[in-house]
């Protein structure tokens, strides 16, 4: 089985593409799995640039196929200087815990939302480096949801915003959707899995 290292210290994120890639004969290893810590400054101006920074550092340290990922968040009606953009978890220079993230975004929804909700959009960037050192990048977005000021009782560690994010079509929290719901929503990341598999 082929292996690829996901250059992230977020354990939930590290498992994101596991199932789909395993079906294609690729095992995803996290930084924790190989006992590696990366010290990188994510100073890119886009999600793709930050994803490349992480993947390159990981490849430099291991020489193995690596992938890095980053995302940007935009919230409708929030002023430019308050938009999360690339700094979803870093606010005023501080890296927030899951609980602090939740409280911060709930307050943003209360301040700028209408009827307790705000339409949002994620833009993702992914970088894959194969064993030869060849780089490939991919981007995609998700805007079929909004954030609300009331949180779900369930939390996904590492993905705290799932507790205040709801799919527009179902008005259901990300943390509470079932596999059947996902089929109804036609939400999957098969295109991302296929991209990774074809560029490893």
Question: Is 115 among the catalytic positions?
Answer: no
Residue the block writes with tokens 């004969």: 25
Active-site choice (70, 98, 179, 191): 70
**83, burial (CB in 10 Å: exposed 0-12, middle 13-18, buried 19+):** middle
What one-character-per-residue DSSP string does 70-89 give?
EEEEEETT--GGG--BT-SS
53-to-41, 129, 137, 158 alpha-carbon distances in Å? 8, 11, 12, 21
Catalytic (active-site) positions:
70
């Amino acid at each position: 089985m082929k292996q690829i290292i996901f250059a992230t210290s977020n354990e939930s994120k590290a498992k994101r593409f596991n199932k789909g890639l395993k079906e294609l004969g690729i095992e995803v290893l996290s930084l924790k799995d190989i006992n590696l810590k990366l010290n990188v400054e994510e100073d890119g101006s886009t999600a793709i640039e930050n994803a490349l920074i992480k993947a390159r550092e990981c490849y430099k340290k291991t020489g193995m196929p690596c992938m890095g990922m980053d995302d940007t968040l935009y919230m409708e009606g929030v002023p430019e200087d308050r938009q999360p953009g690339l700094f979803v978890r870093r606010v005023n220079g501080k890296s927030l815990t899951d609980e602090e993230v939740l409280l911060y975004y709930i307050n943003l929804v209360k301040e700028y939302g209408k009827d307790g909700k705000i339409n949002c959009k994620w833009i993702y960037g992914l970088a894959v480096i194969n064993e030869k050192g060849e780089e490939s990048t991919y981007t995609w977005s998700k805007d079929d949801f909004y954030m609300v000021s009331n949180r779900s009782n369930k939390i996904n560690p590492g993905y705290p915003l799932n507790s205040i994010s709801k799919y527009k079509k179902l008005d259901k929290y990300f943390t509470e959707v079932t596999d059947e719901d996902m089929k109804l929503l036609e939400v999957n990341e098969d295109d991302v899995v296929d991209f990774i598999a074809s560029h490893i």
